[in-house]
Amino acid sequence: MTKSAKYILLSLLIALALLTSACGASAPPTSSAIDTISTAVAMTVEAENAQQTQFTPTPAFTETPLPAFPNAATPTARPKPTNPPPASANDLACMKASLIDQTIPDGTIKKPGEQFTEVWHIRNDSTCVWDTTYKIVFWDGDVMGGGYVYNFPQQALPGDTVAVPLVLTAPAQDGTYRSSWKLQTPGGASFGVGYDSPFWVDIVVSSSDKIDYGVTSVTYEVVRDPAAGCPANVFYTIYATISVNGPITIVYNWAKSDGTTENKKTLKFTEAGSQTVQMQWSLHLGSATNERWARIFTISPTQQDYDKATFLYDCK
Q: What is the pLDDT of residue 88?
A: 67
Main-chain phi, psi angles of 52, to 5 degrees: -65, -40
The per-type count for the chain, helices as H runs and strands as E runs, is 3, 16
Contact 246, 204 (CB under 8 A): no
Using the predicted structure, report yes or no on whether residue 114 has a pLDDT greater than 80: yes
Q: What is the pLDDT of residue 90?
A: 72
CA dihedral over 92, 98, 103, 106, signed as positive or negative:
positive
Average pLDDT of span 43-64: 44
More confident residue, 305 or 11: 305
Average pLDDT of span 201-205: 95
Using the predicted structure, report yes or no on whether residue 241 has a pLDDT greater than 50: yes
Contact 172, 113 (CB under 8 A): yes
Q: What is the pLDDT of residue 15?
A: 52
**Alpha carbon distances (Å) from 234 to 37, 80, 255, 284:** 134, 51, 20, 6
Give the whole-angstrom CA distance, residue 190 versus residue 192.
7
Percent of the chain having pLDDT more than 70? 72
Q: What is the pLDDT of residue 71?
A: 31
Mean pLDDT of all residues in the chain? 80
Q: What is the pLDDT of residue 286?
A: 87
Contact 97, 129 (CB under 8 A): no
